A and B are shown apart, each in its own frame.
Chain A
Amino acid sequence: MTLGIESCCAGKGRNLKTIRALLLLVTLASAFLLLRGDCLAGLSYEVEVLGEGESGTVVPLVKATYSNGLVALVKESHSSPIVTVDAWCSTGSACEREEQCGISHFFEHMFFKGTEKHPRGEMDRIIKGLGGRNNAGTSVEYTHYYVTVPSENYLTALDVLSDALMNSVFELEEIEKEREVVKAEIRRKEDMPASQVFVVFQKQFAPGTPYEKPVLGFFETLDPMNTESFLGYLAEKYRAGNLAVVVTGDVDVDEVLGAIGEYFEPLPAGRSPYPEFEVPELKENRVGFERKDINQGYMMLGFVTEGLEKSEENLTLDVAVAVLGEGKSSRLYRTLIEEKKLASHVEAWQWALRRAGVLGFEVTFEPGKEDEVVAAVLEELEALSMNGPSAGEVEKAKAMLRTSFAFSTETTGGRSTTIGRAYVTGTLDDCLYYRKRLDSVTAGRVQELVSKYTSGKHYALGMVLPEETYGERASSEE
């Protein structure tokens, strides 16, 4: 599976990819808005239909590009009277300056806290009245805000969402209160070893780059943030060229596109550049750990892969990951849980970012057994690098991935997440042509990639360990 790390919505989701755009044209000056009768405002936009003629739950996908650079992606479906409106911004912890660490996530918490048009109480009242769910998530390279509502309320949802995206006022009093909430979230994570282990891992896999920083930030960097910090961040990041609005479900495409053009008219054009950095190859195995008063050991082991900007490997790595860790018949499940009985949980994933990715393994294991677990994982990787997967394994992996894809795009919320994440990570084509692209993955290519990234390569390892057992381990090694 592909990993999408998000705070807030605890999201490990499946990441899909993209990019070819199937033609179609039409430049509509969206001057005729049905929504507000006499209102003739609105941005003009060009429309393309993506993935036409493909089968699946995310196609055909209508893409509109507005005159200010904003992109809208709409997937209409009418099986349930529900709509998800999901705004994606290409910013996250990797896009922050050193002293701003955590601002993307803190900013996301300040969402829906009031604008001039909709002051705090009024905004609360409207959201309450929507009769649905709203939440948000912040990751390393993107942040998104979504609302799932009965379809009759979706325009109201779009109205408050767009207003909050452009016009939040960030009152100091609200900032002070929310700062405590964000700190509580950091502490909460520290109490959840299965989550904390990722923070420990992150420090090891891309040292000296923005990828090593925790999404939630540090108390020290959060403390000085004030109204100016957020207004500055808003002006810098929340520009049309960084934003995509995804709408899925029971809507009329033309109505949605017109409404987006109207609501987002004041959105400033332009985009903020992605920071310049490279993720170096690891020169040694890097190990970090924390000790806690816990019963089991938690680890993340990962190898650095090429970033999405360079690679066409996304789905091949998905297949590799499925062969290794998806399901009870997968190699790592059989070895670590069934045969060696070292672990109670094992998961393989890839985490694809722009400048680098991770082929990673997450294991919950018996105290004191970390060395054996690492050795067992490396052994499986070596076997896969040497001999490749069998044809049957590859077919099984593909079948499981197809099922996962079908289930993860079953609901409007699932579709908006899949489409939005694929769009902001530049992998929309993998998502639109999922079946075809997956079919073309071969056993040989899987072997090649696993070998390329793991044979003779160094790994990053993060662990959260029970206190006493690490002592035992250290002394037993002497």
Chain B
Amino acid sequence: MFRIIALLALVIVLVAPELATAAGVSPASGVVKRVLENGLTILVKESNANEIVSVQLFMSMGSKYETDQEAGVSRLLQQSVVKGTKNRTAEDIANEIESVGGRLESGTTKETGFIQLTCTTEGFSKAQEVFFDVILNPVFPPEEVEKEKELIVKKIRERKDHLLLSALDLVQEELYGEHPLHKPGEGYEETVVSFGREEVVEVYNRFYVPQNMVIAAVGNLDGERFIEDVERNLKVMDSSPERPTVRLPEVCLSESREKLKYRESSSVWLVIAYSAPGVLEDDYLPTHVLNSILGGSMNSRLFTELRDKRGLGYSVRSLYAGYSRDAFVGAYIGTKPGQFEIARDGILEEVAKLRDEEVTDEELESAKKYLRGTYMIRLESNANQAYDFAYYECVGAGYDYPDRYLEGLLGVRKDDVMKAAKTYFNTYALASVLPEGVQPDEAGGEKSGEGY
């Protein structure tokens, strides 16, 4: 399940902005929004197509709100928060939720922390009691915090075994420099082992404040009753602490940078990243469309040129990390040993073409159509709807951002896309994890020879 969540988090981070709906469809229109006196925001949408309910709590936290010394503390908080309350042990929590068929997962993105509850309608009222208890009364037993620290360290090592994720982490270190988004969400082994229970309690007090909390529920539930339940349970939270804020340095890459990490591997893993606007910034939608034309689908330029025409790799895509500000757009490929330069130059060539030549009307229209269509498909799921409403509300875009996204895509013009390409496709950060000692001309991929 962890793996699924990790994967989900990755997909959401990388692909979340690639989501979209058919004309006239307005996913947020059925949402009821209520803000409690203490500042906590509740969003509810009833949907009776299935017998299931998804609830998502989002708060600002994560790498973006951590100093380098604090790297990973939000993740530790999120993993520990479900490990014991005033009323329940860790085992009780798991047992009670799972006995009614529910699942309670918690984690972070780079700028948010979440707790998600998924359940059938039948088990929902029991499961939500545990959900509220976890939010309000965690006790962070020291031995549980220690266990979670060890688990995070193992996850950090496991992530390094996944060479594409490794390359993605590396490229963000290169691109972001001093900016807090350079850090991996799990933090570093050195920082994680340095935390104790006090740090966890301190960040709980910093982030679990009602002004910083958005709870969204979508599914087969009684909306008014849910709002009352949230209010009854969480109105005791103190309204005085303010939302956490952070001052962000500019992401500034005065020249392109490349970082190669040699490692035993069967493929060359290569990621190229450019800084790009976040959801809250100008040019987000045109850049998003640009990303889609470059490599967002199986019909994109990278896919067509590098995979279909040249057979350079199986995984060839662009990606857009959908942070609220200071995002990045980029591309990755897994190709055979010895082809580092060919693959890099191939990607850079496609980027340059996009920057220097006009996109066709057909490409523009099909990218917009694709983005809208795939977003509509994403929102078929209650859990995704709850995720998006809560996430966008939490980061300041508003819960109805999905509607504006769909509408806004329609208005993206060729000039906007061209302008975005010229603005953002300049200096890049590149990271590659690749095997040592393969000459570029050894197309067979045998490991011999020396150096690059």
Contact = CB atoms under 8 A, between A and B. Distances in A.
A195 to B, nearest CB: 10
B311 to A, nearest CB: 3
Contacts of A296: 154, 157-158, 161
Interface stretch (B209-217, B244-252, B302-310, B348-356): B302-310
Which one of B25, B49, B380 has the highest number of Cβ atoms from chain A below 10 Å of its Cβ? Answer: B380
A271 to B, nearest CB: 30
A124 B312 CA distance: 19
A133 B160 contact: no
B127 to A, nearest CB: 10
Nearest to A364: B158
Interface string B80-114: 00000000001100110011111100000000000
Interface stretch (B58-66, B172-180, B264-272, B399-407): B264-272
Interface stretch (B31-39, B115-123, B199-207, B232-240): B115-123
B311 A344 contact: no
B299 A187 contact: no
Nearest to B7: A10
Contacts of A366: 154
A192 B49 contact: no
Contact of B376 (A124, A150, A294, A328): A150
B155 A344 contact: yes
A77 B49 contact: yes
A395 B99 contact: yes
A188 B315 contact: yes
Contacts of A185: 314
A353 interface: no
A261 interface: no
Interface stretch (B273-281, B318-326, B366-374, B410-418): B366-374
Contacts of B315: 184, 188
Interface stretch (A26-34, A59-67, A406-414): A406-414
A134 B310 CA distance: 21
Contacts of A134: 298
A183 B336 contact: yes
A396 interface: yes
Nearest to B119: A403
A470 B126 CA distance: 47
A132 interface: yes
B377 interface: yes
A293 B434 CA distance: 12
A79 B91 contact: no
Contacts of B314: 181-182, 184-185, 188
A327 B98 contact: yes
Contact of B98 (A124, A329, A347): A329
A354 interface: no
Measured as residues with beta carbon below 8 angstroms from the partner, the interface class of chain A is 35 or more
B374 A133 contact: yes
Contacts of A409: 50
A265 B269 CA distance: 45
Contacts of A127: 298-299
A191 B94 contact: no
Contacts of B225: none
B389 to A, nearest CB: 16
B147 interface: yes
A43 interface: no
A182 to B, nearest CB: 7
Interface stretch (A95-103, A171-179, A445-453): A171-179
B3 A345 contact: yes
A210 to B, nearest CB: 24
A354 B241 CA distance: 60
Contacts of B95: 329, 396
Interface in A96-133: 124-125, 127-133
B334 A80 contact: no
Nearest to B52: A406
Given A131-B370, A344-B158, A410 B50 contact: yes
A10 B94 CA distance: 28
Contacts of A293: 263-265
Nearest to B220: A406
B109 to A, nearest CB: 20
Interface in A147-196: 148-150, 176-188, 190-194
14 contacts: A82-B377, A128-B299, A181-B313, A184-B312, A191-B265, A296-B158, A326-B98, A329-B91, A341-B147, A344-B154, A345-B3, A403-B52, A410-B50, A411-B377
Given A132-B373, A392-B99, A406-B52, 11 more contacts: A127-B299, A131-B366, A132-B377, A184-B335, A185-B314, A191-B265, A193-B161, A295-B157, A328-B1, A399-B123, A402-B101
Interface of B: 1-3, 22, 25, 47, 49-52, 90-91, 94-95, 98-103, 118-120, 123, 147, 150-151, 154-155, 157-158, 160-164, 263-267, 269, 297-299, 304, 307-315, 334-336, 362, 366, 369-370, 372-374, 376-377, 379-383, 445
